[in-house]
Chains A and B, each alone.
Chain A
């Protein structure tokens, strides 16, 4: 489902001294089936933005179109129609999703969302088991309490809880925060797999290496506005430090090598492997 933001404005706690303008006219489009990254410094409105996609927040003005669904300004949220249908299509994994666990067993917790969306007990459990195997948790976890698991396992259970209802669009906020490097890598390859199976992925992250490696498009947010939508490689060619963004490690390394005289094809670099390939290619294929 394509997603369009059109002149979206949003203010937290309007008409109080605590009022804060979080979004100040956001315009961009997310194509169907893309792996879309949203980057920007802390407090630039990324988290507020993604809550508009599944109508947890409604804009003060402007509109967000998700397929057929239109999220537009309303007085009371219940005036919006078809919100349950929308939420079934758009799954949101928040930052530190492990706090949303509450059931006695892992499988029940994962089956919670499918059941809310109208599946029967048995079907919901089937979906839960499929989702759990997707996040590499085997049968031994099914009957355990989610509160006895380790931090990384809890997070995978929570993510399975969203995958279980098979959303067509998956919105993920900082999935790798607080994970060890191996865990982070596994997490990202999981989302890559889900994307390859046809799900649109919208990823909020601070890790530019992830953006470079996985995303096909990246939106840069600054002070409540979308500064632009780029191809990741194009973005990192520019000077992005003014948005408090840093070059990805591999890209920075390649730039430095190029400065020191090695003629490198920077545009093909996505991760460590392609960096190595580029270095070998610049040497004429022989070391």
Chain B
């Protein structure tokens, strides 16, 4: 099991220094880019390819190894096979979300069972989008301290205070949840080791054995999580925590010029993607007169 994915990694990169508020918006923009449907398979491939390059640059900035991301994919092979099966077995174009492009031609035709290359392309697109999604979230969580992230959330929720939305409480809840992820990971490691010493094998064995092995992990994990939350609530109350109180901050978020640069750059990319998506602009045809169909 890989526990390092999704953890904050303390490097000193440009991405680390960007204001978390800019980072959140920028990363949402990038996600939208990835999920925008394009008119033809050439443009889908091009847009995903460009996004991949961008994401790889971001990952390199935060120094998350790409092998880490690929490692997390190992557990997704089952889903990949299911995707392929669904796309090849389903009749042509009955899947609403990703139109199967029939321009790629027929892969094979067995007594009326027609499978288009487009089906494989569509399955590949989904897989690619998922990988990029994971990578982008990793960029965000690896380069931003959880606390800064919640400050940013709270900042965005502040206008909602006018309609009595509990912005601070929500932010506090999120920050506590984030704060306890590594703690729970450590607990998981600890309990796994204790149960492995008692002869549990978490990686081998049939389904029944695996479920039993998991229950020996999950039950103690819940018990410790509940006792921790109780202790935390008591500790907060002892220190006089009142969610409604006015409070000052030790660390204040400061917006700098390179936050503008980062934000404007990503919003420009988003605008470009939206334009291409809506207008059906085909640069291959426009610039080179090619018709890639």
B-binding residues in A (CB < 8 A)? 13, 16-18, 51, 54, 56, 78, 84, 87-88, 91-92, 94, 97, 99-102, 112-113, 116-117, 147, 161-162, 165
The dominant DSSP class at the B interface is helix
Binds A, one of B108-116, B152-160, B188-196, B267-275: B188-196
Instruction: Verify if B239 is at the interface (C-beta below 8 Å from A).
Output: no
Residues of B within 8 A of A87 (CB): 196-197, 199
**Do A116 and B190 have beta carbons less than 8 Å apart?**
no
Known: A17-B9, A17-B11. A102 touches B220 (CB 8 A): yes
Known: A101-B220, A102-B216, A102-B220. A94 touches B194 (CB 8 A): yes
CB distance from B189 to the nearest CB of A (A): 10
Q: A-B contact count, CB below 8 Å?
A: 61
Pairs A-B, 5 closest by C-beta atoms = A116-B199, A102-B219, A113-B198, A100-B194, A92-B197
Known: A16-B4, A100-B220, A112-B216. A56 touches B193 (CB 8 A): yes
Residue of B nearest to A17 (CB): B10
Residues of B within 8 A of A112 (CB): 198, 216
Number of chain B interface residues as a range: 20 to 34
Complex Cα distance, B198 from A117, in Å, reads 8
Complex Cα distance, B216 from A165, in Å, reads 17
Residues of B within 8 A of A100 (CB): 191, 194-195, 198, 220
- Encoded as 1 (CB less than 8 Å from any A CB) or 0, chain B from 205 to 243 comes to 000000000011001100110000000000000000000
Residues of A within 8 A of B197 (CB): 54, 56, 87, 91-92, 94, 162
Complex Cα distance, B196 from A100, in Å, reads 10
Instruction: Verify if B102 is at the interface (C-beta below 8 Å from A).
Output: no
**Do A56 and B11 have beta carbons less than 8 Å apart?**
no
Residues of A within 8 A of B282 (CB): none
CB distance from B4 to the nearest CB of A (A): 6
CB distance from B72 to the nearest CB of A (A): 16
